[in-house]
Amino acid sequence: MEVITILIPFAIALGVSFLALFIWATKNGQFDDLDTPSKRILFEEDNNNNIKRKEV
Partner 1 sequence: MEQSISQDISNIYGLQCDHCALPVITPYTNDQGDNFCCRGCLTVFSIIKNHNLQNYYNIQKADDTPRKAVNRIQEKQYSYLDDPLFLQDYVHYNLNSEATLSFFLEGVHCIACLWLIEKIPTFTPEIKSVRLNFENSVATITLKKEFTLFSKVASALNNLGYPPTPLRSDDEIKKLQQKEERSYLLRIGVAAACMMNIMLYAVGLYAGAQGVIGSAFSFIALVFCIPIVTYCAQPFYTSSIKAIVNGSINIDTPLSIAIVLGFIVSLHNVIIGTEAHYFDSIATLTFLILFSRYLLLKASRHNYQRSGLNSFLTDSSIVRRSSENQLEEIHPSQIRVGDTILISPGSSLPCDGKIIKGSSEISLAILNGESKAKKHHKGMMVFMGTINLGSAIEIEVISCAEETKLGKIYAAADSIDKKKANITLLTDRISKFFVAAVLATSALTILTFIFLGQIESGINRALALIIITCPCALGLATPLTYSRIMNLSAKMGALLKSEYVLEKLSRAKNIFFDKTGTITTGDYRVARVKRIREASAPYSIESIIFSMEANSSHPVALTLIDWAKLSSATLENIPCTNLCENLGKGVTASIDGTNYEIRSSPSDNEFLKIILVEDGKVITEMLLKDTIKDNTASLFEELNSKNYNLFIASGDQPSQVREVAAQLNLNKTNWRSSMSPEEKGEWVEQYPNTLFIGDGVNDTLAFSKSSTSIAVKGSLEVSLSSSEIYLKGSDIELIPHILLMAKAGSKTIKRNLVFSIVYNILGATLALFGILGPLEAAILMPLSSLTVLLSTLWGTRESLFINRKTL
Give me the residues that bind partner 1 (CB under 8 A), please: 1, 4, 8, 11-12, 15, 18-19, 22-23, 26-27, 29, 31-36, 39-40, 42-43, 46, 49
Q: Shortest approach of partner 1 to residue 56 CB, angstroms?
A: 15
- Smaller CB distance to partner 1: residue 34 or 56? 34
Q: Shortest approach of partner 1 to residue 54 CB, angstroms?
A: 15
Distances (CA, A) of 10 to 20, 23, 48: 15, 20, 44
Distances (CA, A) of 33 to 10, 30, 38, 41: 33, 7, 10, 14
